[in-house]
Structure 1
Amino acid sequence: MHTRTRRPVLGCIADDFTGATDLASTLVRGGMRTIQTIGVPASAVAEDVDALVVALKSRTIDAQDAVAQSLAALDWLRAQGCRQFFFKYCSTFDSTDAGNIGPVAEALLDALAENGSEGDFAIACPAFPENGRTVYRGHLFVGDALLNESGMENHPLTPMRDPNLVRVLQRQSQSKVGLIGSATVAAGAAAVREAIARLRADGVRLAIADALTDADLRTLGEACADLPLVTGGSGVAIGLPENFRRAGLIEPNEQAADLPSVSGPALVLAGSASKATNAQVAEWQAARPAFRVDPRSLARGEAVVEAALAFIDSNAGQPVLIYATAAPEEVGEVQRELGVAAAGKLVEDALAAIAREAKARGVRKFVVAGGETSGAVVQALDVNMLQIGPPIDPGVPVTVALGETPLVLALKSGNFGARDFFAKALRYAEGERS
C-alpha cells in the first residue's frame, strides 16, 4: 500500500469547477504538485501532493448553502494538514448583493480566527492581468472596460453592474471592507503588510487589493505569507508557491504538470453564453461539425439528447461540438419564456446526459465550456479527483480524472480561452503541448 510522504501545505476552496482548475493550473505552474477534488471527499488523499483544491458548485446557490459547503471543505483540508487556505472565485467577481463572496469569506475567517488575530483578516483580489482582469483604486477592469461595461452586466445569473469592488463586497458583508491601493502595492510587500496592520486596527476584516501586473500579484502573495486565508481569483496565487519554498515546506518540482496518457475519442460540450465562448463556437462551426441544443426544444420534451448522440455517432469518431451557446439577446428571450433557473437546468441536464452516454460509448476526452456546465458534466461523468497538467490557455489546464476509467478533461470558464481554444484543447488532450 502506498503511504503518502508529503502532506499538502495549501488548501483551496473554489466556488465552481472551472475556477478550481484555473487555480490549480496556477499552482502547478509555480511547481506545486496539485490535486483537485470534485466536492468534499469522504476520505484522505493518498497521493504525494503540495496543494489540494476542493471544487464546489457554490457560486450561485443560496448563500447559507455556500457557506455550509465551504466550511465542510475547510474542515477536510485542515484534516489533510494544510497550513494556509485560499478561497477562489471568478476574476470578474461574479456574485450578487446577497453573496456569495462576502458571506463565505467571513465564515472562513470566523472558522480560522481560533488561530488568533492573524486569522481575522483577508485580502480580496480577483485580478488576473494575463487574462485582462486588473484592479485599480478598487475598480475592476476587463481589458480596457470597466466591469459594468464589459458584457458582464448582461450575465444571466450574476449581472455585474458596479465596477467598484469595495462597494460590491461591502453590500455582501457584515464586516468592514477596506482597500489596499496600487501605490501601496507598488511600494512592496512590507508596505502591504503595514497597510494590513492599519486596516485591521481600524476594524477592517476584508480588503480589496489593487493589482495591475503579475509583479503586483507576487507582491500581494508575499505580503500574505502569514495570513491563514487569502481570497481572490487565481492570479494572486502566483505568489504563494515561493512563500512555501522560502519556508522550506516544498521543493521545486519540474514534473508537477506531468500527466498519464489516455487514449480514446473526444467530444466538445459548450453551455456558456459568454462572448468568448460564442466566438469559440463560431470558430469551430466554420470548419467542423456541430449540433445545437435548443432549450425550447428541451422544454417541449423533444428527444434532443438522443438526436445529439445520433449526431456524434454519425461522425464516426470525429470530434464534434454539442453546444447550447447563444447570443445574449436570445438567452434573455429564453430565460423570460422558461425562467432563468429552469432554462439553465434544462441545458445543464441535457449536456450532462450527453456526456454520460458518450462516456458509456467510449469517449475518453472531454472539452467543456462554462462553469455551471462543467460542474454538471463532471458530476455526470462520476469524476471525483483530477490531476492538473499544463495550461492550454491562461487559466485553463488540461487535466486527467483519476479513477478506474481515466478521462482527459479540459474545463473552461466561459470567458476564458482564445478563439481556437476548442481545437487547441483537443491537441493537448492528445498529448501535444502547442
Structure 2
Amino acid sequence: MAILLGAIADDFTGATDLANTLVRQGMRTVQLIEVPAGPAATAIDGVDAVVIALKSRTIPAAAAVAQSLAALDWLQNAGARQVLFKYCSTFDSTAEGNIGPVAEALMAALDTDFTIYCPAFPENGRTIFKGYLFVGDGLLSESGMRDHPLTPMRDASLVRVLAAQTTRPVGLVPLSAVSDGPTAIRATFDRLRQAGTAHAIVDAVTDADLHRLGEAASDLPLITGGSGLALGLPENFRRQGLLPNRGETAAVSADLGGATAVLSGSCSVATLAQNAYMRARRPSFQLDPQALAESDEQIAQAFDWAAGRLGAAPILISASAPPDAVRAAQDALGRERAGALVEAALARIARGLVDRGVRRLVVAGGESSGAVVQALGVRALAIGRQIDPGVPWTVASRDGAPPLALALKSGNFGGEDFFLRAFA
C-alpha cells in the first residue's frame, strides 16, 4: 500500500512531535528510526504517513544531505505523494546548515524550483511575523536558544539565517497574504517564483494560519517546517478522497508496567526548570562531562545509586547544566567532545536501566534521545497519548526484545512538572 505523506526529520524528538501531530489529525502514522535497510513493507502496511527519524541536525552538512537523500529515496519507493522535511520550531542550525543544504538537495532530487519554510508552532509559543521567529513574547535571539550548546540561535530573522545557508534567493510570504487565505498564499508563491525566489519563509501566528498554509501548499512536492505545518496537510488528502475522515486516530497504550526513569541531556531553559522541579521531589543523580572524560567510574556510580531506587516512581539521571557550566565543560573538553561524552553516557545508562527492569523512560533532548534510541536498538515507534503539546508517549519496537514506553522530549517543550506528570 502506498503512503500519502513521507517525512524526513532531522532529530528523533522532532520526528515524534510530527508523528504525534499527524496521529491527532487522523493519519495512521509510523515513525521509523533511521532509513530502513529494506522496504519494510510490514511496517507501513495500512499506514497513511511515515516519518523517518534521522540524527542529522548537527552533523557535517554533507553527511546530513546524504542521509536525507537516502530517506527520500526510501519514501519515494514507498509511494509518498508529498514530502515534508521536518526541523525544530526554533530553526536550530549550525553556521554551515543543515536546513538550507538539505532542503536544496531534496529540491534537486524532486525536480522542484520552489519550497516553503514554516517552523511556527503557536501551541508552544513559536510564531513568525515579518519573517522573525518569536519564542513566547520575545525574539528567538532573546530566548534560551541564544546559548544553546550546539546550535546557538542569535538571529531571529529566518530570511537572513536561511539566506546564509542556501545558494538561491530567499523571500517572504507575509502574514497579510496568509490571513487572506489559500488563494492569496498561492498567488504570493507564484510571484516569488516568477521573481526567481526558490525559498520562502512563511509568517504564521495561529493554528488557523497553518491550516490555510497547508491547503495552499497541497501541490508542492516538498514542504519544510516544524510539526505545526502538518496541521493542514491531512485535509488535503481527504479532499482528494485518499484519506478517510476517521477523526483522531486511537493512540496506543503505553502503560507497560515496570520501573520508570528520566534521562535528561538537554540544557534548554525549559528542561533546566523541569530538572529543578523534579529534584525537589524525587531522587536525582547528576553527571559531569569532565568526570566522564576521565573514566567510566561515574557511570558505574549511577548504576549503584539507581539500584535501590528503581520502581513505579521515577528517578532522574541528568547531565543538564546551566550555560556557564556548559561553557566550562566545552572550554575544557571541546564542544563536540563534551556533547559526545554526555550522549554516550546517557546511552549506556539507558541500556543498563532497561536491563535492570525499566520499561517506561522519558528522555529530554534531541541529541540525547537519538543516542538512547540507537543504543536500545529501537526500529519503530507507535504513537501513544500526548503528555504536553508536541510530546507523546510512544511504544518502541525492538528486535527480539520486550517493548518499551518512551517519551522523547525536545529540550524546549513541556511544562515545569513534565517529568512527573508524564508518569501520573
Q: What's the TM-score, normalizing by structure 2?
A: 0.96
Q: Distance in 2 between matches of 1:166 and 1:16?
A: 22
Overall identity of the aligned pairs, in %: 60
Aligned to 1:402: 397
Q: Distance in 1 between matches of 2:35 and 2:248?
A: 26
Letter in 1 for 2:304: A
Aligned-pair distance for 1:389? Answer: 1.9
Moved more, 417-426 or 369-378: 417-426
- Matching residue within 225, 230, 252 for 1:232: 225
Distance 1:245 1:177, change over 3 A: same
Aligned-pair distance for 1:305? Answer: 1.0
8 Å contact kept, 1:29–1:390: no
Aligned to 2:303: 309
Aligned to 1:166: 159
Q: Distance in 2 between matches of 1:76 and 1:311?
A: 44
- Segments of structure 2 that go 5 or more residues without pairing to the other structure are none
8 Å contact kept, 2:107–2:222: yes
Deviations 1:264-302 (A, max 9, x none): 211110000000000000010111011111111111215
Q: Distance in 1 between matches of 2:250 and 2:105?
A: 33
Aligned to 1:217: 210
Distance 1:254 1:216, change over 3 A: closer
Q: Secondary structure at the match of 2:246?
A: coil
Q: Secondary structure at the match of 2:133?
A: strand
Letter in 2 for 1:215: A
Aligned to 1:277: 271
Aligned to 1:326: 321
Letter in 1 for 2:41: V
8 Å contact kept, 2:299–2:349: yes
State the 4+ residue runs in structure 1 displaced beyond 3 angstroms.
none
Q: Distance in 2 between matches of 1:30 and 1:93?
A: 23
Aligned-pair distance for 1:399? Answer: 0.5
Moved more, 298-307 or 205-214: 298-307
Q: Does 1:7 align with 2:2?
A: yes
Letter in 1 for 2:272: N
Moved more, 39-48 or 78-87: 39-48
Q: Secondary structure at the match of 1:252?
A: coil
Q: Distance in 1 between matches of 2:422 and 2:34?
A: 24
Deviations 1:389-427 (A, max 9, x none): 221101111110124421101000000000011112123
8 Å contact kept, 2:24–2:248: no
8 Å contact kept, 2:171–2:192: yes
Q: Distance in 2 between matches of 1:73 and 1:323?
A: 32
Q: Distance in 2 between matches of 1:290 and 1:61?
A: 31
Aligned-pair distance for 1:45? Answer: 3.5
Pairwise mapping of residues 18-417 of structure 1 onto structure 2 (< 5 A)? 18-43=13-38, 44-46=40-42, 47-113=45-111, 119-254=112-247, 256-260=249-253, 261-317=255-311, 318-403=313-398, 404=400, 405-417=402-414
Q: Distance in 2 between matches of 1:120 and 1:424?
A: 45
8 Å contact kept, 2:119–2:225: yes
8 Å contact kept, 1:355–1:381: yes
Q: Secondary structure at the match of 2:164?
A: helix
Aligned-pair distance for 1:11? Answer: 0.2
Q: Distance in 2 between matches of 1:189 and 1:24?
A: 24
8 Å contact kept, 2:135–2:143: yes
Aligned-pair distance for 1:388? Answer: 1.2
Q: Distance in 2 between matches of 1:233 and 1:177?
A: 18
Q: Distance in 1 between matches of 2:262 and 2:172?
A: 41
Moved more, 226-235 or 37-46: 37-46
Q: Distance in 1 between matches of 2:321 and 2:95?
A: 26
Q: Distance in 2 between matches of 1:258 and 1:25?
A: 9
Q: Secondary structure at the match of 2:262?
A: strand
Aligned-pair distance for 1:254? Answer: 4.4
Q: Secondary structure at the match of 2:219?
A: coil
Aligned to 1:432: none
Q: Secondary structure at the match of 2:110?
A: helix
Aligned-pair distance for 1:7? Answer: 3.0
Q: Distance in 1 between matches of 2:28 and 2:247?
A: 9
Letter in 1 for 2:263: L
Q: Distance in 1 between matches of 2:246 and 2:207?
A: 21
TM-align CA RMSD: 1.2
Aligned-pair distance for 1:96? Answer: 2.4
Q: Distance in 2 between matches of 1:158 and 1:393?
A: 24
Q: Secondary structure at the match of 1:42?
A: coil
Letter in 2 for 1:205: A
Moved more, 15-24 or 418-427: 418-427
8 Å contact kept, 2:30–2:51: yes
8 Å contact kept, 1:112–1:120: no
- Segments of structure 1 that go 5 or more residues without pairing to the other structure are 1-5, 114-118, 428-434
Q: Distance in 2 between matches of 1:316 and 1:81?
A: 45
8 Å contact kept, 2:260–2:310: no
Letter in 2 for 1:278: L
8 Å contact kept, 1:15–1:89: yes
Aligned-pair distance for 1:250? Answer: 1.0
Q: What's the TM-score, normalizing by structure 1?
A: 0.94
Aligned-pair distance for 1:263? Answer: 2.5
